[in-house]
Structure 1
């Protein structure tokens, strides 16, 4: 048993001894009381937008035998999971509860790999109960070498009398849940050929809450204690609400089990000695964690196991599950007392609850049935666990746990680092969904049915997929963006980074959360959260960023500026690699009559020859070797508003300077909308003020960008930008250079050239009336 569990049980023993020896308490502890609305807070609408693109479609399948009275079993295809074969082939696999295991290659067309239903006919059953059939498949981490994979299916009929469960069965057993090991003769083949053997058989009295999932820990490596161990999520068979089965450590139902499926002699499997109850009399050594009703989907984030757990009365929950954990069912439902005699209420926890050592949810939502709904009827909610995104394609989603509701298809997110015991319930967010064309959609619309039967999948690169049994289709999450309401729709798909200074990074107000596609937070350098001030640059704005010089007479690096910088490049800004164009735009208000005093020279009257506004740094830029900057610099002895850029790292730059005096473009104390566009293919640069083009000219003759003779189209270098700088140079904060005594808001950075019409429309969208 783990040390922390031992301490809990030891504490319980001490408390019990003390209770027997101590004098009677002066007053009884408060008894639990009924709760009308267990979780009053609702999932929070999020500015996060997820793009779902259809990925695959599956042929119609039929339950075996046809369902007698449950229309929920009549789906297009009862696809239950998507995963990737761990053999380097990049093939995906999908199981259908009605019996087929499919493989998907690059053409995304499902090819039948194995017919599980036919292999176990006539005992195989998928037409009785929502969880019956071919429930799951898990491939051994060395499948490419040993050809082994495992499946779960349900049996009835003759199997109930001719085959014996390996662990204690529930009374009145009606179904068997069976785990089978298959060994492919050729792991590379597109159709299975090989052998099979039975690994584990469990008996359930009900046709719900059977074996819901099996899986190997992805982060385990050869030599790790967890490597090659099979986790098994076994439900309570529907008996938990009327029995103590989930709390009974002598039986497997209502538990997560963990076994080593590698055969040892004449045994089907072995019990890992590291299991929390291994070798303990009266307790099954196979048990890893217990106290569960319907442990529907689990996944790992590193070494953490996150579980989606379907509730009985009201609570749909996510748990951070460790060895020996007791989730409390059916003494508890979520963080509430469950009373078997009262199906209409949950109850508050007793004052002495800590002594029981229950593990409570790290996130949860309740059913919120409509007015007049019977408290004993199904309200149509059931959580489906998902995955923490750790892929590379959607950096804005990194560290986000994506999950949902099976029935109505709602998709939820939570911050993975907040899903930890001891932190209370994490906030649940509801992102916005759009289709490939950017149109808002819901999962019922995509599934073509009010009952979605939502599931999640993940490929080997960590990319995420949504599945629906209703129409047998799969969608891939292809984009994640925080699209602020004040951004023109046509710009959103190319908005690499956006900062409105209304979104401090959770837990770190000295950083600003990106509202664009890349998810690149910036640091408010030196001033921190104090740089975020109340000021309205445009309609809907409440805060702006202030940048300024702090000590004009002292050389140093204490000036207020913002940005992100990495010597090796910022991977999340990779969208700016090898592009044909860039746009920088935003709202600016100068609070000065000219450049700041130069603190780097001995002359106290000397001033810098530039004022830094905003821009993207190229792959080798230290702050001046530019890719695309909007600034004020001295041109021929006169300060000008300019667009300044270079195309290829290490080559020359070009400057486009506005003709008008800078004081007319940026009057002191007045908000102005500026934009700069950089077309690296044609060599064209443009400046705009309040949506209208500014006349100007180029300051360098010839071909500084090296467009002549270069392969078409002419692109920037394929190197990660070192960052974004705002309000001065050197976001790496090594020195003060060209500070801007000003305020900024609504900064947008695009990886293409915005059209004049789009820039005008963006200004008109927000300009004060």
Structure 2
């Protein structure tokens, strides 16, 4: 018998236990948040010209709203054309009135005062979507005089009126769909009858009824119904027994619904499914704000959906689609109680859920990494099929409402199940062809941009900030070629070819120029701490700067940058392009002007919290091209051979100057520098 001591047995047992443990599968580490869900919209090289056609009357909530976001000039929400051949436009104001006007903006009048007709239960002073939300004219309005509205009610309605579909017992507002029948469809103001079709209760003052509209192929009425503001913490959007967080489809002429006031189309995708509402067309939504059908192509239905945390999305909506909200936001995983409001990768078994994912969209940062209002809202638009603007043909034009930004994605790339289509930003020009912004045109930082279209498919832009309507009348090529000239400066690797701020910080080994020691802040305006300009050759007006650049500062360090200087006239007057690994700070990754004052950011991509995608994130060489048309002021920055600029700007302060290279407080190098353009001697 072998004598095994207690100590040796313990050692043997521990070894066996360790071996056994190594054979047990370990739980997979939870994936971390997705840092950059979608690339920033790229400069399109195209701008749209806007012609002001009207300003509608000022209005206010009743009583006065406590939320500053409701205190705009008015709350005009859409523009459409009445389908009767008259050429009359209609515009609903969420504060209560529907206006009509002629194509040129003349002939404005109040067609219907919904607030006055509904009376004291009309609610419009709490919640961004409250009030007279939308109007949809029946395709045969010219003969039957029918149109439909969505509005919000509270007060006595909460006690005296019962919702027609399942609603929260503690609802704070009701959303109501009303059918109006005009006695004379040609009349300038409404006279006739009304009947209530449908009433739904909502748990909060937001995300109620949004757009309503008739399908072009089936003549049925589609209703975009928000989640009542509670989808971020509940299963409501996924619950097929309730209408909130869904798109409904009904037949206003039918009577086979539960309340006998409308019909259930026999082709509805959830009809006959156990426990499901027969009205459902698609599910899984937070704030399905705007939808439209492409009048050309394959006639897809597109929905602009406002996100909760990070992603704003456009979806192609098919019958029975589940957009995933409550479990998904956009194309990523949503976690209800994430303290930083971040999104996560999809699980490996995601396909089994059958969710529909976006075909276009954009992302944004949360304020200070928290969960407050991000100040972003995707405003769904239209696939352009008009004839006046060939450059936009086949493009889905949409926007960001708060800041008033205009975007497009190519419809041919917007396919369910395919990679998300690239989004491009449209610059804005006034009717005289001068570069501007919607903030400037609206006269306020909160634009509250909305979009509309006429019967011919031409586009219109509205702003609640000043109640104005603009027609999109044409396009401007923002990156058109300028006279490049024939002067070229190259082979600039010797010390004699450069003038540094501090010569001792630079090395000139022969095939590149090296900033080997980081600069230090200097007196005067805030500007790059250390740079050198090329003194060889002429001063340039129109100029193209081509170079290979590299950041030598380790990637572990924050605030890494190199800069390309151009238009340099003195140490306190020049432009520079900041190429950084960060795009979330005002001073990083943008185009700047130093004009005897602290550097001013001038690029189109900065939206107040995020700019163009980071230009340099590693320690490798990157090819950079900067073009500047001095006469027009158009500046474009291209990285790594892309034909699409990473950054753009328009500024005419500096008409000429020299080019160079540097950094704020990092080290790096430049090679293959070539400056070409129109030299000034």
Per the TM superposition, whether the score is higher than 0.5 is yes
Q: Does 1:288 align with 2:281?
A: yes
C-alpha change, 1:121 and 1:317, in structure 2 (3 Å) is same
Residues 305-330 of structure 1, C-alpha deviations (whole Å, 9 max, x = no match)? 11111111111011011011100011
Query: CA–CA distance in 2 between the matches of 1:324 and 1:264?
Result: 23
Q: Deviations over 1:690-726 (max 9, x none)?
A: xxxxxxxxxxxxxxxxxxxxxxxxxxxxxxxxxxxxx
Distance 1:442 1:430 in 2: 12
* 1:12-27 alignment runs, 5 A limit: none
Instruction: Say whether 1:409 aligns with 2:404.
Output: yes
CA gap of 1:154–1:414, structure 2 versus 1, over 3 A, is: same
Match of 1:466 in 2: 461
Write the distance in 1 (CA, Å) between the matches of 2:320 and 2:104: 44
Counterpart residue number, 1:321:
317
Report the TM-score when normalising by structure 1: 0.58
Inter-partner Cα distance in structure 1 for 2:195 and 2:424: 44
Partner in structure 1 of residue 308 of structure 2:
312
**Mapped contact 2:53–2:104 kept (Cα < 8 A):** no
Q: CA deviation at 1:350?
A: 0.7
Q: Distance in 2 between matches of 1:405 and 1:174?
A: 28
Work out whether residues 385 and 393 of structure 2, in 8 Å CA contact, stay in contact via their aligned partners in 1.
Answer: yes
Of residues 365, 368, 372, the one that matches 1:368 is 365
- What secondary structure is seen at the aligned counterpart in 1 of 2:78? strand
CA shift, 1:347, in A, is: 1.3
In the TM superposition, 1:580-599 aligns within 5 A as none
Q: 1:281 to 1:86 in 2, by over 3 A?
A: same
2:360 pairs with 1:381: no
Query: What are the within-5 Å matches in structure 2 for residues 149-228 of structure 1?
Result: 149-218=147-216, 220=217, 226=218, 228=219
Aligned match of 1:260:
251
The structure-2 alpha-carbon separation of the partners of 1:294 and 1:30, relative to structure 1 and needing over 3 Å to count, comes to farther
| Aligned equivalents of 1:339, 1:452: Cα separation in 2 | 31
- Displacement after TM superposition at 1:541 (Å): 12
Residue segments in structure 2 that go unaligned for 5+ positions in a row: 1-22, 484-541, 547-675
Q: Is the aligned partner of 1:101 residue 2:98? A: yes
For residue 145 of structure 2, the aligned residue among 147, 151, 166 is 147
* Matched-pair contact (CA < 8 Å) for 2:115–2:132: yes
Question: Hey, what does 2:431 align to over in structure 1?
Answer: 436
- Structure 1 residue 378: deviation in Å? 1.2
Name 1:237's counterpart in structure 2.
Answer: 228
8 Å Cα contact 2:312/2:361 also seen in 1: yes
Q: In structure 2, how many angstroms separate the alpha carbons of the residues matched to 1:100 and 1:422?
A: 41
The CA distance in 2 between the partners of 1:281 and 1:47, in whole Å, is 52
**1:242 is paired with a residue of what secondary structure?**
coil
SS in 2 for 1:246: helix
Find the counterpart in structure 2 of residue 83 from structure 1. Answer: 80
TM-score (structure 2 length as normaliser): 0.66
Q: Residue 331 of structure 2 aligns with which residue?
A: 335
Contact kept, 8 Å, 1:91 with 1:105, in 2: the verdict is yes
Give the 5 Å matches for 1:577-656. Answer: none
Q: Deviations over 1:176-231 (max 9, x none)?
A: 0000000001100000000000011110010010001100123x2xxxxx1x2000
Unaligned runs of 5+ in 1: 1-24, 221-225, 489-537, 543-764
CA RMSD after TM alignment: 2.1
Counterpart CA distance in 2 for 1:333 and 1:292 is 9
Runs of 4+ in 1 over 4 A off after TM superposition: 25-32, 538-542, 765-769
User: Larger deviation: 261-270 or 342-351?
Assistant: 261-270
User: Could you tell me how far 1:235 is from its partner in structure 2?
Assistant: 0.3
Question: Matches of 1:179 and 1:256 in 2, distance apart?
Answer: 14
Distance 2:215 2:80 in 1: 13
Paired with 1:362 and 1:47, the residues of 2 have a C-alpha distance of 22
